[in-house]
C-alpha cells in the first residue's frame, strides 16, 4: 500500500474518532515506535535470559485417539517428511525438504531478504504473501510431534527438528517477509512451543539445539511485544493473536519477569474476549471463518491459563462456552459452517477435520467444525449427541420449538448481537443474515451479505454463500466475492450495499453504509417469521426489508419490501452449489418460476405487481481459500417504483435418504 493510500485511509478513520481517543492513539504509536527502535539492541545481546519448560498444555495419550484421527495424523506427517506440504485449497504441494520459506509457489514469486520493515508485502503482482506466511506458521510441527508420539518413529521428530533449524537459519530476526507482522510471529511461536512439548523428552545431545530454539523463541517474544498490533482505534484477531502468543511464550519460557508476563497477558486476553466477542457468543468481525480462528485462539488461551493457574475467570469461561454454542447452532448436519464473510482458513492448530480436508484430492471444504465442537463438549460438558442439536438458550438467544399446536421447527435461534438467525427442522435448515459490518463498522472482513439467506436440505446445501477465493493475489477477484451480487440478497441499481474503496490498498476496508435493524421473530398463523432491514441503499432513496417465513411444510417464503422514492432496477440472486441444475419454467411476467434439480427437486416461484424477468447465470463459489468452483445462480430482476414487494416461494419434495 502506498504512503498516500495509507494517509487517506487514516484521515477517513480519524474523522470518526474522538479527540481523547486520537490523543491516546498518538501516545501509543510513539511508544510503539520507541520499542521498535530499541528492539535491535535487545536482539544483539548474546545472552538468552530464559529456558524452555513444558507448560502442561499437552498431556496427550494419543493411543486413545480414534483410528480415523491416527490415520489423518500419520498421512499428513508422511506427506511433510516427503517434502509435500498440504494446503486447504491445493492438497499436498511438493515444495521439497527444506522448502523455500519466502516463496509463493502459486505465482512463482518470492520476497527479498531485506529488512522486514522496508518490505512491501502486498505488491499487486499476482503474488500472495499468505503463502509464505502460512508455511512459516509451521503448524505442521505439532502434527509431526503427534506422529512421533503415535509411532515412536524418530524420523518424524527429526524432520521437525531439521525444518525448525532451517527456518531459524534462513529467517534471521527482522529480515525477510516472515518477520513483517506480529501475528505471524505469534502463531509460529505457538506451533514451535507445542512441538517442543510434544517431542519431549529432550536429552543431553539435544541441549545445544534446544538452546538455539529457546533463544529464537525469546526473540519472537521481544518482536511481538515491540510490534504488537494493539490500537485504540481498532483491534482485531491480529492483536488477539499477539496477546495469546505472548501468553503462550511466557508460559513455556522460564526466567526473569515471565511470571508477571503470564499474569499480564492472561488479563489482556480476557479483556479481548469482551471486546471482540458479542454477548451472544459471535465474533465481531462479521465472518464465520474468523469466528472459528478466534475461537481457537481463546480456547488455546483457556487451556494455557488453566495449566498455569492464571485463570480463566468464570465470565471468560462462560463467554467462550457461548462461542461454542454459536458454532453448534450454525453448523449443518455434516458439521460444516457456511463460508460467510472472509475466510483465509487460518488456524491455531490443525484438527482432524483440517488434516483430512488438506489431504483430500477433491471436495475440499475448509470450515468443517465437528472436531472443534468435540473440544467444546469436552471442556464444558455439553450434552452428548450431535453438537448442532444442542438447545441451550442464553439471554440474547431466542429459541422456539413450537408455534400454535404444531411443531414447525425443532430449533429457531436468533443471535441478536451477531445478526444471525437459524431455523432447523427435521429435514432442512435456513440461516438468515443481518450481520452488522464488522469491528464496529470498520468491516475489514465484512461482505455485502445483508439479508442474505442460506438453505440446506438434508445433508446438502441449496442456497450457498460464495465464500472467499483470495485476498491480495487478485484485487478484482476479491471484490467480486465480497460483492452484493455474490450473495443471496437484493441489489439495487447495480450498486453495493456497502461501497468498496477504490484505492489498490482498500482490500480490507469497506464503507459503513448499511445499518441493520435487529432481527425480529414472530409467531404468526403457524409460521415462524423472521425479519430485518438495512439502509445501505439510502443514498439511492431505498430501504430494503426482508421477511422470511418458515411454515414447517417443506416451504420457505421471502417477502422483499423496497420502500423509498424514485425509479430503480433490482436483481435478487440465489447462488447454488455446482451439483444443482436450473430449469426455467416461466421467464417473464408478474409470475415467474423455475425448478432446481439436485439431490432433491426444488421449485421456486416469484411474483410482484410489475413485470419480472427470470434467468439463470454462471457464478463462482469458494469452499477453501484459493479454490474456485463454477456454479449456477438464479436471477430475478425488474424495474420498480416504491413501494414494491417481491414475493419468493421455495418448496421442495421429500429428501433422499
Question: pLDDT, tens digit, for every residue of 455-476?
Answer: 999 989 999 999 999 999 999 9
Of 249, 309, 247, 289, nearest to 272 (Cα)?
247
Cell numbers 517477509 correspond to what residue? Answer: 177
Q: What per-residue confidence (pLDDT) applies to 656?
A: 59
The yes-or-no verdict on residue 183 having pLDDT over 60 is: yes
Residue percentage of the chain with pLDDT more than 90 = 79
The yes-or-no verdict on residue 394 having pLDDT over 50 is: no
Residue percentage of the chain with pLDDT more than 70 = 93
Task: Collect contacts of 267-274 with beta carbons under 8 A, ≥24 apart.
Answer: 268/243, 269/240, 269/243, 269/244, 269/298, 269/301, 269/305, 270/311, 270/312, 270/313, 270/316, 272/235, 272/239, 272/240, 272/243, 273/298, 273/316, 273/319, 273/320, 274/315, 274/319
HSE, CB side, 13 Å, CA atoms: give it for residue 260.
3
Q: What per-residue confidence (pLDDT) applies to 361?
A: 78
3-state secondary structure string, 462-522? EECCCCCCCCCCCHHHHHHHCCHHHCCCEEECCCCCCCECCCCCCCCCECCCCCECCCEEE
DSSP state of 73: H
Cell of 280: 451472544
Query: What's the mean pLDDT in 285-299?
Result: 98
The yes-or-no verdict on residue 491 having pLDDT over 80 is: yes
Please answer whether residues 288 and 338 qualify as being in contact, where contact means their C-beta atoms are separated by less than 8 angstroms: yes
- Listed in sequence order, the residues at least 6 apart from 109 whose beta carbon sits closer than 8 Å to its beta carbon are 103, 125, 126, 127
What is the pLDDT confidence band of residue 42, given thresholds at 50, 70 and 90?
Answer: confident
The yes-or-no verdict on residue 125 having pLDDT over 80 is: yes
What is the pLDDT confidence band of residue 6, given thresholds at 50, 70 and 90?
Answer: very low
Q: What per-residue confidence (pLDDT) applies to 438?
A: 93
Q: Considering the chain, what is the average pLDDT of its residues?
A: 91
pLDDT digits (tens, 9 = 90+) for 547-581: 999 987 899 999 999 999 999 999 999 999 988 99
CB atoms under 10 Å from CB of 166, counted, come to 14
Query: What's the mean pLDDT in 29-47?
Result: 87
| 3-class secondary-structure state, position 163 | helix
Query: What's the mean pLDDT in 365-380?
Result: 94
The yes-or-no verdict on residue 607 having pLDDT over 90 is: yes
How many Å apart are CA 101 and CA 171, to the nearest integer? 8
How many Å apart are CA 534 and CA 529, to the nearest integer? 17
Q: What per-residue confidence (pLDDT) applies to 600?
A: 87
How many Å apart are CA 234 and CA 443, to the nearest integer? 10
Q: What per-residue confidence (pLDDT) applies to 362?
A: 82
- Listed in sequence order, the residues at least 6 apart from 119 whose beta carbon sits closer than 8 Å to its beta carbon are 111, 112, 176, 177, 180
Query: What's the mean pLDDT in 227-245?
Result: 96
Cell of 99: 522448502
Report CA-CA distances (Å) from 615 to 55, 455, 463, 586, 633. 59, 20, 16, 9, 9
pTM for the model stands at 0.93
CB atoms under 10 Å from CB of 595, counted, come to 13
Q: Which residues of 342-372 are buried (b: 16+ CB within 10 A; e: fewer)?
A: bbbbbbbbbbbbbbbbbbeeeebbbbbbbbb
- For strand 411-415 and strand 644-652, is the pairing parallel, antiparallel, or unpaired? unpaired
How many Å apart are CA 635 and CA 494, to the nearest integer? 13
| Range in 292-301, 353-362, 406-415 with the lowest mean pLDDT | 406-415
How many Å apart are CA 71 and CA 402, to the nearest integer? 43
Query: What's the mean pLDDT in 273-301?
Result: 98
Q: What per-residue confidence (pLDDT) applies to 45?
A: 84
How many Å apart are CA 319 and CA 303, to the nearest integer? 15
Q: What per-residue confidence (pLDDT) applies to 382?
A: 62
Q: What per-residue confidence (pLDDT) applies to 396?
A: 32
| 3-class secondary-structure state, position 79 | helix
What is the pLDDT confidence band of residue 64, given thresholds at 50, 70 and 90?
Answer: confident
What is the pLDDT confidence band of residue 14, given thresholds at 50, 70 and 90?
Answer: low
Query: What's the mean pLDDT in 603-612?
Result: 98
Q: What per-residue confidence (pLDDT) applies to 503?
A: 77
What is the pLDDT confidence band of residue 15, given thresholds at 50, 70 and 90?
Answer: low
What is the pLDDT confidence band of residue 530, given thresholds at 50, 70 and 90?
Answer: very high
What is the pLDDT confidence band of residue 392, given thresholds at 50, 70 and 90?
Answer: very low
Q: Is 143 left (phi over 0), alpha (psi -120 to 50) or beta?
A: alpha
| 3-class secondary-structure state, position 178 | helix
How many Å apart are CA 357 and CA 90, to the nearest integer? 10
Amino acid at each position: 500500500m502506498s504512503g498516500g493510500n495509507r494517509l487517506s485511509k487514516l484521515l477517513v478513520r480519524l474523522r470518526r474518532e474522538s479527540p481523547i481517543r486520537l490523543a491516546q492513539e498518538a501516545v501509543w504509536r510513539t511508544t510503539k515506535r520507541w520499542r521498535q527502535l530499541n528492539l535491535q539492541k535487545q536482539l544483539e545481546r548474546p545472552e538468552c535470559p530464559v529456558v524452555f519448560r513444558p507448560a502442561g498444555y499437552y498431556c496427550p495419550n494419543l493411543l486413545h485417539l480414534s483410528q480415523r484421527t491416527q490415520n489423518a495424523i500419520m498421512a499428513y506427517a508422511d506427506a511433510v517428511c516427503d517434502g509435500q506440504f498440504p494446503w486447504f485449497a491445493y492438497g499436498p504441494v511438493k515444495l521439497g525438504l527444506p522448502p523455500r520459506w519466502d516463496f509463493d509457489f502459486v505465482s512463482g514469486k518470492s520476497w527479498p531478504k531485506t529488512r522486514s520493515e522496508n518490505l512491501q508485502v502486498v505488491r499487486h503482482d499476482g503474488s500472495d504473501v499468505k503463502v509464505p506466511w502460512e508455511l512459516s506458521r509451521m503448524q505442521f510441527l505439532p502434527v509431526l510431534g503427534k506422529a512421533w508420539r503415535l509411532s515412536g518413529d524418530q524420523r518424524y521428530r527429526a524432520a521437525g527438528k531439521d525444518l525448525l533449524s532451517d527456518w531459524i537459519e534462513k529467517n534471521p530476526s527482522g529480515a525477510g517477509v516472515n518477520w513483517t507482522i506480529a501475528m505471524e510471529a505469534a502463531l509460529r511461536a505457538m506451533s514451535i512451543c507445542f512441538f517442543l512439548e510434544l517431542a519431549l523428552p529432550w536429552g543431553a545431545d539435544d541441549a545445544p539445539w534446544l538452546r538455539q530454539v529457546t533463544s529464537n523463541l525469546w526473540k519472537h517474544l521481544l518482536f511481538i511485544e515491540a510490534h504488537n498490533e494493539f490500537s485504540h482505534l481498532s483491534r482485531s484477531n491480529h492483536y488477539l493473536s499477539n496477546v495469546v502468543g505472548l501468553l503462550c511464550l511466557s508460559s513455556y519460557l522460564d526466567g526473569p519477569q515471565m511470571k508477571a508476563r503470564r499474569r499480564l497477558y492472561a488479563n489482556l486476553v480476557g479483556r479481548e474476549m469482551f471486546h471482540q466477542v458479542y454477548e451472544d457468543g459471535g465474533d465481531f468481525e462479521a465472518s464465520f471463518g474468523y469466528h472459528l480462528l478466534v475461537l481457537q485462539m481463546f480456547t488455546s488461551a483457556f487451556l494455557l491459563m488453566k495449566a498455569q493457574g492464571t485463570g480463566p475467570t468464570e465470565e471468560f469461561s462462560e463467554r467462550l462456552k457461548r462461542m461454542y454454542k454459536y458454532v453448534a447452532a450454525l453448523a449443518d448436519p455434516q458439521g460444516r459452517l457456511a463460508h460467510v464473510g472472509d475466510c483465509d482458513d487460518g488456524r491455531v492448530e490443525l484438527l482432524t477435520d483440517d488434516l483430512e480436508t488438506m489431504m483430500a484430492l477433491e471436495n475440499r471444504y475448509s470450515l468443517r467444525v465437528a472436531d472443534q465442537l468435540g473440544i467444546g463438549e469436552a471442556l464444558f460438558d455439553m450434552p452428548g449427541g450431535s453438537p448442532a442439536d444442542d438447545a441451550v438458550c442464553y439471554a440474547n438467544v431466542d429459541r422456539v420449538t413450537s408455534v400454535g399446536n404444531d411443531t414447525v421447527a425443532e430449533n429457531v435461534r436468533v443471535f441478536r448481537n451477531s445478526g444471525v438467525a437459524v431455523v432447523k427442522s427435521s429435514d432442512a435448515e435456513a440461516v438468515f443474515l443481518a450481520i452488522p459490518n464488522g469491528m464496529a463498522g470498520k468491516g475489514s472482513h465484512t461482505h455485502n451479505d445483508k439479508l442474505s439467506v442460506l438453505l440446506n436440505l438434508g445433508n446438502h446445501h441449496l442456497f450457498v454463500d460464495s465464500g472467499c477465493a483470495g485476498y491480495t493475489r487478485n484485487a478484482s477477484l476479491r471484490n467480486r466475492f465480497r460483492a452484493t451480487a455474490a450473495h443471496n440478497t437484493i441489489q439495487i441499481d447495480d450498486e453495493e450495499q456497502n461501497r468498496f474503496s477504490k484505492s489498490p490498498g482498500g482490500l480490507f476496508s469497506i464503507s459503513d453504509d448499511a445499518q441493520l435493524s435487529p432481527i425480529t421473530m414472530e409467531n404468526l398463523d403457524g409460521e415462524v417469521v423472521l425479519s430485518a432491514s438495512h439502509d445501505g441503499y439510502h443514498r439511492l432513496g431505498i430501504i430494503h426489508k426482508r421477511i422470511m417465513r418458515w411454515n414447517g411444510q417443506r416451504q420457505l417464503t421471502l417477502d422483499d419490501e423496497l420502500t423509498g422514492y424514485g425509479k430503480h432496477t433490482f436483481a435478487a440472486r440465489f447462488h447454488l452449489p455446482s451439483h444443482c441444475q436450473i430449469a426455467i419454467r416461466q421467464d417473464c411476467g408478474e409470475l415467474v418460476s423455475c425448478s432446481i434439480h439436485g439431490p432433491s427437486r426444488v421449485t421456486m416461484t416469484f411474483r410482484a405487481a410489475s413485470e419480472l424477468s427470470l434467468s439463470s447465470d454462471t457464478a463462482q463459489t469458494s469452499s477453501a481459500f484459493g479454490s474456485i468452483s463454477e456454479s449456477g445462480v438464479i436471477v430475478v430482476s425488474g424495474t420498480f417504483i416504491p413501494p414494491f414487494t417481491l414475493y419468493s416461494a421455495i418448496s421442495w419434495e421429500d429428501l433422499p435418504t
